[in-house]
Amino acid sequence: MRIAFNTWDIEFHSHACIEDIEARFAKRNQPLVVLDASGGYARQFYSLEFRPQIKSPDSKQVSVALHSSRLGIEPQLLPNPANGFLYVGIDSSVFIFNVPNLPAKRLNLTSPFYWMTHFASQGGILIAYETGLLWMNIDGDTIWQHSVDDIITGASLPSHDMIEVTLLEGGSAKLDLKSGDLLR
């Protein structure tokens, strides 16, 4: 996958093994930074390349290898042109890149990552993972986190300031999007 983001081209690729990634970058004589989201149990491998669209003597290309144990869903990339951040959800982590810098931050989730979405009007990003929700500002600071004793199977937004999650064992929970408070 390739996306144009601010003044950068970003490429995201899946690889069969770490040797494929190493060979790809060895040919180009490029340094490679490895980020292990798998906890040492890597089964899937991805590369993330940041290339400047405007070449200059000061411009540099940044290449990252991501290791995954394939928990949850496939990785998700969420660019935010307003602040130049790229959020990458993978395994039980969310990496926040200040393009083109290496991760400015890493959020560790307590269970596998599901999805994330940016609510520009609310000024935040909602992250759903197997057993909870996390709301953060666009800089990656956690505003609130809500854990459940069950597995989240779905989510909906009945209104602009409320999220409702459905649970595997039945039932649902409604949360205030701004505060994370449980609504009755």
The pLDDT tens digits of the residues spanning 4-15 come to: 888 889 999 999
Residue 184 lies in a domain: yes
Q: List Cβ neighbours of 66 (8 Å cut-off, separation of 6 or more).
A: 35, 37, 45, 46, 47, 48, 75, 88, 90, 95
Residue 67 lies in a domain: no
- d(CA 90, CA 70) in angstroms, rounded, equals 8
Q: What does the pLDDT read at residue 129? A: 93
Residue 30 lies in a domain: no
Q: Which domain holds residue 179?
A: 109-184
Ranges of the chain with pLDDT below 70: 71-72, 100
* Structural tokens at position 46: 């991805």
Can you give the pTM of this predicted structure?
0.88
* Structural tokens at position 162: 């409320």
Residue 45 lies in a domain: no
Residue 147 lies in a domain: yes
* Structural tokens at position 131: 């057993």
**Other residues' Cβ atoms within 10 Å of the Cβ of residue 154:** 11
Residue 137 lies in a domain: yes
**Closest listed residue to residue 146, CA positions, set 184, 106, 113, 176:** 176
For the CA atoms of 4, 55, 85, 129, the dihedral, rounded to the nearest 10 degrees, stands at 60
Q: List Cβ neighbours of 153 (8 Å cut-off, separation of 6 or more).
A: 166, 167, 168
What CATH number corresponds to the domain at position 143? Answer: 2.40.10.480
**Closest listed residue to residue 103, CA positions, set 123, 87, 79, 89:** 87
Residue 11 lies in a domain: no
Q: What does the pLDDT read at residue 126? A: 94
The pLDDT tens digits of the residues spanning 120-133 come to: 888 899 999 999 99
- d(CA 20, CA 14) in angstroms, rounded, equals 10
Q: What does the pLDDT read at residue 71? A: 58
User: How many distinct structural domains can be found in the chain?
Assistant: 1
Residue 133 lies in a domain: yes
